[in-house]
Structure 1
Amino acid sequence: MRDIYSNVLVKASLKPAARTATANGTSVDRADGSNASMYQDALVVLNVGTVTDGTHTITIEDSDDNSSFATVAAGYLEGDTPPALITSNDETVYETRYTGGKRYVRVVTTVTGSPSTGGLYTAEVVLSNPRRAAVVHP
């Protein structure tokens, strides 16, 4: 099947929360076990709600072994690379395509400025174009 449901899988990295501290998102395995096939495309979607205070710097990291993560080089990212989130970024969606070849991807937020209420945002990784279709949804 070549429909969107059979060829796309969405995984949460930063789950929705009011963030006042630095956090590593959950890693996303591009060779998801339910399909046992490497997804060739990954799109990071950052959905920003309200940022009341603090500065929230978003980075995308990758890893071969799900243990040693490093910031993805700019040459492996396309699209909207999120700026540091401040109050003027409210109600914005950023989409960044990951073109690197590492198996694991995660989103990290670094929070500075001692926020009291912080920022509400979430980050998902949309996996698509599996080498072996169709996607098996959990």
Structure 2
Amino acid sequence: MTMRDLKSNLDPAHSLAPAVRTAGATGSAVDLRGFDAASVLVHAGAYTDGTHTPGLEASADGIAYDDVAAGHLIGAFAAISSGAGANTVQQVGYAGPARYLRAKLTIAGATGGAAAGITILRHRTARAGV
């Protein structure tokens, strides 16, 4: 059986570093240049309270950002609003034209909050070994 190297074709980047959050946050920009595809991984940890809704913004120039249209997502983000959402990973694909992506987390009703982080996984490199 032939083993294929997946590591050379993936490049993860934190947009929103893992932390316990009680207020909304916007992540840093991730440049998709040199990649043909991207996925967003939402890592949810311990949950105390509130509604934590992940989202994605896109930009052509890295300056002006807009929410990504549902038509450019493969799958959908689910709000984390109970202990059932704790210690889970969500994956949503991005199939839009923007060069830059950044994650966001909208939070309502949190006093203790929840631990979460969002990674943008760039893949299908234009060249191997990136």
Name the counterpart of 2:78: 83
- The percentage of aligned residue pairs carrying the same residue is 37
Do the aligned partners of 1:52 and 1:86 also contact (CA within 8 Å) in 2? no
Which of 102, 114, 119 aligns to 1:119? It is 114
CA contact under 8 A between 1:53 and 1:116: conserved in structure 2? Answer: yes
2:30 corresponds to which residue? 28
* RMSD of aligned Cα (Å): 1.2
| 2:96 aligned counterpart, secondary structure | coil
Count of aligned pairs between the two proteins: 126
Partner of 2:67: 71
Is 1:107 the counterpart of 2:103? The answer is yes
User: What code does the residue aligned with 1:117 have?
Assistant: G
- How far is the alpha carbon of 1:134 from its aligned partner? 2.1
Deviations 1:65-115 (A, max 9, x none): 111111111111013x222211231121110000001000111011111x2
Task: Give structure 1 stretches of 5+ with no counterpart.
Answer: 32-37
TM-score normalised by length of structure 1 = 0.86
Moved over 6 A (4+): none
Question: TM-score, normalized by length of structure 2?
Answer: 0.91
Q: Give SS of 2:78's match.
A: coil
Determine which of 6, 14, 26 is the counterpart of 1:4.
6
